[in-house]
Amino acid sequence: MIVRIWVIVYIVMVTSSLAEAEDHCVLPKELFPFTQTNSQKSLLKYSDIKRNTKYLRSLCTHKIVFTEGRFKWEMLLVYNPNHKKGPFWFLPHDNENSAFDAAIYAVDKYGGGLLSVLSSGDRYFHGQDPNRNFGTDIQTAQICSKQKYPAPLYSKVVFNIIDTYRGSGFPYLALHNNSDGWIGNGGSGTISILKSSASVQSYPSGTVYQGKAKGISDEDSLIYIAGTEKIPPQKKLKVLNHSGIHIKYEVVSKKNNDCSMSNYVVLKKGGNYYNIETEHGDVRSQKKMIDKLMNILNIHSR
């Protein structure tokens, strides 16, 4: 069987700024050769932008558009013009509003930026999970049950943007929200510090609370880290647990690659990865966990 993959290698950057200093919001020419100015009002149709307008006045906001195969991807790039290099957050799911609000808080406070997938408020982008789209060839995509087609351009664009604004030596960062509890424990979600598997180990920090949004000790408030070793780096684990954060450690290999960002970072980038998870609506805990992680990483407010 002959598999044809059509990739349109053309990136259109629809650019708008909510920041007062427009000059500070010019994209690097070598990264984005095609730019088009757009009105600020056009971005206000997105609920994430509308909800955070007052915080975005001092930040730069751009709409990213590119086509690969059957998908015309749309994303929001937000960065701090006064401190462009810093922690950079990837938000693949458009239905996770607390994660976006927490990311805006982080960019405003610590510099750097965020890249958020736009999918009309849905978790999936026309049936494709954006966080399971980092398989760059046919062989890799076939291993990943949640990736429909190989996506070399998607991976290239996302990580080119991340690496442009991610400070030197900074880890790869993601933000997610989840549902309360896990299904096997009477909840509605699939992520909990009380749940472990052969490839994802749980390391609670002290008492674990169950129920609706119980703060950073809640079973749904946790940080994912990832690596190829069978156990997590003990120094890193102890520091995170000591700060009151529950930790999940994902054991990554080529054989169990799920084409997620964490797996791509470990297998392709050889980088450090942290994903901060909280229950939907618990933005307060997510901000608190961001502050704790930034303190551990010795990243200071700007």
- The tens digit of pLDDT for each residue in 121-158 reads 999 999 999 999 999 999 999 999 999 999 999 999 99
Task: Give the pLDDT band (50/70/90) at residue 38.
Answer: low
Contact indicator for 137, 147 with CB cutoff of 8 Å: no
The distance in angstroms from the start CA to the end CA of the chain is: 55
Whether residue 208 has pLDDT greater than 90? yes
- The tens digit of pLDDT for each residue in 150-200 reads 999 999 999 999 999 999 899 999 999 999 999 888 888 899 999 999 999
Task: Give the pLDDT band (50/70/90) at residue 23.
Answer: low
pTM, 2 dp: 0.93
Average confidence score pLDDT of the chain: 90
Q: Angle 283-296/234-242 helices, nearest 10 degrees?
A: 130
What percent of the chain is helix, strand and coil (3-state, nearest 5)? 30, 25, 45
Residue 26 is predicted with a pLDDT of 83
